[in-house]
Structure 1
Amino acid sequence: MIALLSLFATLLLGSSLAAPASICGIPGVRQISGSLCSRTYNNVLVSTPLGAAEGVADSSGANRFAVRYASAERWAKSSVATTWALPNDATDPAALPLVCPQQGVYDSTFSEDCLSMLLYVPKTFTASTSSPVFVWIHGGSFIEGSATDPGLDGSNLAVATDSIVVVFQYRLGALGLLAPNGSMNLALLDVINALTFINSNIATFGGDNSRVTIAGQSSGATMIRSLLAAPSASHLFQSAILQSDPMNYGFLSTATYQTLQNAYNGLVGCTSSDVACQAALSLDTILSAQGTLSNEALGLDPSVGIGEPIRTVNDGTLITTPLDSTAPFPSVTKPILVSTVLDEATITIYGELFRSPVPEDEFEGVCDSLLGEPRTTSVVNSSFYPPPAAVNGSVDARVQLQTLGTDYIWRCPTWTFARNWIANGGSAFVGLYTVGATYPGNEAVSLCTAPGAVCHQDDIEIVFGTVPNPNPAQANLIREVQARYKAFMLTGRPNDPAFVPWMEATSDEVNVLDLGGPGMIAVGACTPSFWGDSVPYDYQVFDS
């Protein structure tokens, strides 16, 4: 069982399957499409409190500014920048920042000096514009990703929503979340420093620092949940959008973090107090040990779950609440918008774990390896995951496993979170994407390109309006989502008169909007009496 779950831990939320592209001629890293590199730019200049900001303008309708927002020594807290500077000591304002160290990319494309952001500012904006600010936190299971990931060109979104769009980077993996000296949540502190930098400087670009909406997908959404659980960060944003957050996983406990940190120290051969040893480690050693720990984490402490073993920690100081059903939920006031996609678990189930059909008589055994006996009994005795129809005389249990995985990791805990949020003073709007755009790399799983499929990450290019050659359904959804996001940034409600009302969730009715189709989505297995009660989430099972 441990071997199977370790495979899940490696793959479930994992690494994007995207093939390497290029950063303006530098091969070997997943990046936004080459359009940002191939354009002809004219330089623009804005005076900021930290000095002159030199950016670039093109035909997109937005100016782009790259900046180093903070700096940090290895495994130390980052400090907010006090002067405006291009990332990585660049001299060309069109240059894109190097990504944070991560596996799967060439060494030449990453740097520990990676705390950078890209600002996309409509060309019509001036210092007196005072428009909303949309801040995107990228995903990547806390071990990969960047501000220049595919689809994250914020130009179209900025123009469509009449806002400033900011996309930034934070330290990943062991460098951001597993310091040998025991420092916790360094990556979360990076995120807070990015928001602090925006708060101090965005007005000169025409942004209103009192109307900042933070948004993110997958682990980026988990990072937002971490911010919502950190009272010291509350003043830095007014509302939040969480897309495909794997909420089944709670924050790590300090005890689990200590177990992982001790194991990591052993892998790199440095004690917690040996600063010289830690400083001398090569990035290859750091990343290799990180990969080994990720594969072994489930065997060290089952509470890490089957994905994202390296993640934010409920340290009691920065994060002060689990923000889930295991403890009294705090009083909240901010409006949130939460969404998932139709087929969150397809990539894992069909693309990696089970590339051939799974006989129906193996369904219960696979469930048991994931959930354990008590939860499996509730699942198999329920009516929510019936065997699919036979095809050519055989039944493929992967259909059930995909639905189960989607409900277990993403959909149902997200709806539980929305119920908790509104029961304690906040407002919440819940959506499910039934139309998407195949994210680069997802095409490696043929089912993700099938008509009607919407896999994990397939919402990203819809939000950003970066779908290459969108079909009519995609184009319509891009217009709808961007109009709703604009309204949400302005009013805290994602409603535009051109589209049907998006009803606010209540403690009795989640009111899930079909994003791509008519009407509402049925609650199904995500009823409170089933997931979270008959079938507890991982964060409930491992609560200590």
Structure 2
Amino acid sequence: MILFTAVLYSLLLFAPIHGFPLGRGRGILGNPPVFHPGLLCNLPIPVVQQLLCPRQSTPSLNVLTPLGIARGAADGSNAARFAVKYASASRWQPSSLVTTWQLPNGNTDPTKLPLSCPQTGVDGSTMSEDCLSMILYVPNSVHIGSNVPTLVWIHGGTFIFGSATGPGLDGANLAVATNSIVAVIQYRLGALGFLSPSGNTNLAVKDVVNSLKFLKTVLPAFGGDTSRVTVAGQSAGASMIRALLAAPSASSYFRSAIIQSDTMDYGILSTSSQQTLQNFYNTLLTCSSADTACLNGLSIDTILNSQNDFSNNAVNYDASAGVVEPIRPSRDALITSPLDSTAPFPQVSKPLLVTSVRNEAGFTIYGGFPDGLDSATYIGAVTGAFGNQSATLLLAQPSYAIPTQVEGGTQDLRPQLQQMGNDQVWRCPSWTFTRNWVNNGGTVFAGEFMVGATYPGNEQVPFCTQAGSVCHQDDIEIVFGTVPSPTAAQAALTTEVQARYSAFLRTGNPNVSGRPNWPAASGNNVNAIQLGASGMASIGACDPSFWGAAVPYDYQTFAN
């Protein structure tokens, strides 16, 4: 050890001659080759850092990675934040990993956050096609050699909105509470991510795979264990995770997954449906699919306008597109299974957390019928959406039936329609997926959020601000610990969820001492616990003999 240390000191002293940057303080950048024992900790030799470096109470904001120096910024008093570009991509072409550490969007200031990917409804100055970036949140307690797990968060937004800087997605509190690294990533959205005129499919999914490859390279420099990576996401972010689970080539880059409020009813598009929809999109452009120069010359506004036209009319070209999320992942060489009930389910092994919230459809139903819903309109809406045969079964189901004493009356039937939408799109297909996953070798812990925090935008619908309502997205700030002025119930659930997520990141099991047991699902019983309340979630109409059998999911109805 004495000889080994002497050699290292010699290397350090002569490093300036060979171009190794030295500095003062704890970073390795700055002024002059002045010797400081702490500089040993910045040598890119893991054994040196593990054997000779003192444990640090605060992180360096300059971290040596295999791709170069990562420059970060303090995020609160207990974590550091590192924004970084993980990949580059030409328009409508597959992305490629960066080979050097770069701040996003050509920034020189590490406190700057990445611009979002192009999307409608935002200021053009806040978005860029150069958007394949992520933000790493690293607790002060974590350093090289800590070998902590990593949670990779994939934002939602129906595949056309969202970013790593969305409301509530600051990962510092979550990172500190779970003593893990949190990476919040961005991927190409809308037509730029899923509708390449030349037929390059699932570009956005491939972006996410590249983000995981990037993390595998750099995580050890921050103290992360590359064998304990969990992908997590909500809504379209959860659907993206389902696409990753259906992509065998992506499997080695993560160990487990957390799926929150996945719209599983819609399904992964078939190859033929994707081609039909791609052909339609191409007709909306003024360029031929082979004219790269013309395509590259299109303005972002032109592309987003054609994307809007596509979204408004896609269902007329292929019914499986639907009206809510026609742009989404599709079957191809990367995604080899639909992971649903329309094809043989593959053998699986990864542990999953699968959750929904109490009132997933609350924003849509109460926002769409702000003045109430009478029985005639209710019957018409169900019949129009499902057809006569399925509507008859649905209206006879206790969860959705019209109370006999008010038939023909004006009682507000929004609760029944909200529950139907909740069950159809989120809750029941997620539990069908859970049973399939367990029956084919995997482990699932299912849950339902009974307490939430009104997510920005949801306040536009008064129902979502009422006591007891938990609308779609209202789980996000609970998980991240970013609820402004939380109530006692919100604070308690945040503490519980973060403790359970911490355990899951490490062991694949969310059970922790001092908390009620969270049983794993079986092939017959999903055992979904109520998060924020005691007891188990009611199966209700999610019985396997009803949804997915008597009344098919959309992915079954439009399977081809």
Give the alignment's TM-score, normalised by structure 1: 0.90
1:38-76 per-position Cα deviation (integer Å, ceiling 9, x unaligned): xxx998100000000000124330100000000000000
Q: Unpaired segments of 5 or more residues in structure 1? A: 1-40
1:458-485 per-position Cα deviation (integer Å, ceiling 9, x unaligned): 0000000000010000000000000000
Q: Equivalents in 1 of 2:104, 2:406: separation in Å?
A: 56
Matches within 5 A, 1:477-488: 477-488=493-504
1:344-371 per-position Cα deviation (integer Å, ceiling 9, x unaligned): 00111111x2222121122221012222
* SS of equivalent residue, structure 1 residue 473: helix
Q: Equivalents in 2 of 1:245, 1:216: separation in Å?
A: 9
Give the deviation of 1:390 after TM superposition: 6.6
Aligned equivalent of 1:532: 548
2:116 is the counterpart of 1:103:
no
Q: Which moved more, 1:470-479 or 1:265-274?
A: 265-274
Q: Equivalents in 2 of 1:338, 1:58: separation in Å?
A: 29
Number of equivalences: 501
2:353 is the counterpart of 1:330:
no
Aligned equivalent of 1:198: 215
Aligned equivalent of 1:277: 294
Contact 1:432 1:513 in 2 (8 A): yes
Q: Equivalents in 2 of 1:116, 1:58: separation in Å?
A: 18
The 1:526/1:86 distance shift into structure 2, 3 A limit, reads same
2:485 is the counterpart of 1:462:
no
Matches within 5 A, 1:290-439: 290-315=307-332, 317-351=333-367, 353-387=368-402, 394-439=410-455
2:105 is the counterpart of 1:127:
no
Which residue, out of 70, 92, 100, partners 1:53? 70
1:488-513 per-position Cα deviation (integer Å, ceiling 9, x unaligned): 01111100112101000001111010
Contact 1:42 1:58 in 2 (8 A): no
2:205 is the counterpart of 1:188:
yes
2:285 is the counterpart of 1:268:
yes
Aligned equivalent of 1:151: 168
Q: Equivalents in 1 of 2:351, 2:286: separation in Å?
A: 46
Aligned equivalent of 1:472: 488
* SS of equivalent residue, structure 1 residue 350: helix
Matches within 5 A, 1:162-181: 162-181=179-198
Q: Which moved more, 1:395-404 or 1:377-386?
A: 377-386
Aligned equivalent of 1:248: 265
1:404-425 per-position Cα deviation (integer Å, ceiling 9, x unaligned): 0000000000000000000000
- Which amino acid in 2 is paired with 1:367? V
Structure with more relative contact order (C-alpha pairs < 8 Å, separation 6 or more): 1
- Which amino acid in 1 is paired with 2:220? A
2:453 is the counterpart of 1:440:
no
1:96-151 per-position Cα deviation (integer Å, ceiling 9, x unaligned): 10000000001111000000000000112111110000000000000010000000
- Which amino acid in 2 is paired with 1:111? S
The 1:59/1:107 distance shift into structure 2, 3 A limit, reads closer
Contact 2:76 2:172 in 1 (8 A): no
2:510 is the counterpart of 1:494:
yes
Give the deviation of 1:223 after TM superposition: 0.2
Give the deviation of 1:381 after TM superposition: 2.4
1:164-192 per-position Cα deviation (integer Å, ceiling 9, x unaligned): 00001000000000111111000000000
Q: Equivalents in 2 of 1:271, 1:500: separation in Å?
A: 59
Q: Equivalents in 2 of 1:231, 1:121: separation in Å?
A: 29
Contact 1:180 1:270 in 2 (8 A): no
Aligned equivalent of 1:14: none
Give the deviation of 1:386 after TM superposition: 2.2
The 1:189/1:394 distance shift into structure 2, 3 A limit, reads same
Aligned equivalent of 1:258: 275
* SS of equivalent residue, structure 1 residue 136: strand
Q: Equivalents in 2 of 1:79, 1:280: separation in Å?
A: 21
* SS of equivalent residue, structure 1 residue 264: helix
- Which amino acid in 1 is paired with 2:316? G
* SS of equivalent residue, structure 1 residue 521: coil
Q: Equivalents in 2 of 1:42, 1:313: separation in Å?
A: 42
2:236 is the counterpart of 1:214:
no
Q: Equivalents in 2 of 1:150, 1:491: separation in Å?
A: 29
Q: Unpaired segments of 5 or more residues in structure 2? A: 1-57
Q: Equivalents in 2 of 1:381, 1:471: separation in Å?
A: 39
Q: Equivalents in 2 of 1:373, 1:181: separation in Å?
A: 41
Q: Equivalents in 1 of 2:390, 2:285: separation in Å?
A: 37
Matches within 5 A, 1:6-17: none
Aligned equivalent of 1:36: none
Contact 2:144 2:221 in 1 (8 A): yes
* SS of equivalent residue, structure 1 residue 458: coil
Give the alignment's TM-score, normalised by structure 2: 0.88
Contact 2:311 2:323 in 1 (8 A): no
Aligned equivalent of 1:69: 86
* SS of equivalent residue, structure 1 residue 268: coil
Q: Equivalents in 2 of 1:408, 1:417: separation in Å?
A: 13
* SS of equivalent residue, structure 1 residue 57: strand
* SS of equivalent residue, structure 2 residue 381: helix
- Which amino acid in 2 is paired with 1:378? L
- Which amino acid in 2 is paired with 1:274? D
Q: Equivalents in 1 of 2:179, 2:160: separation in Å?
A: 32
Contact 2:59 2:80 in 1 (8 A): no
Give the deviation of 1:382 after TM superposition: 2.3
Contact 2:373 2:410 in 1 (8 A): no
Give the deviation of 1:298 after TM superposition: 1.1
Q: Equivalents in 1 of 2:514, 2:72: separation in Å?
A: 35
Q: Equivalents in 1 of 2:503, 2:323: separation in Å?
A: 37
Give the deviation of 1:373 after TM superposition: 2.4
Q: Equivalents in 2 of 1:257, 1:510: separation in Å?
A: 32
- Which amino acid in 2 is paired with 1:51? G
Contact 1:170 1:176 in 2 (8 A): yes
Contact 1:60 1:155 in 2 (8 A): no
* SS of equivalent residue, structure 2 residue 64: strand
1:249-275 per-position Cα deviation (integer Å, ceiling 9, x unaligned): 111112111121112111112222111
Contact 1:429 1:503 in 2 (8 A): yes
| Identical columns (%) | 58
Contact 1:43 1:57 in 2 (8 A): no
* SS of equivalent residue, structure 1 residue 213: strand
Contact 2:312 2:323 in 1 (8 A): no
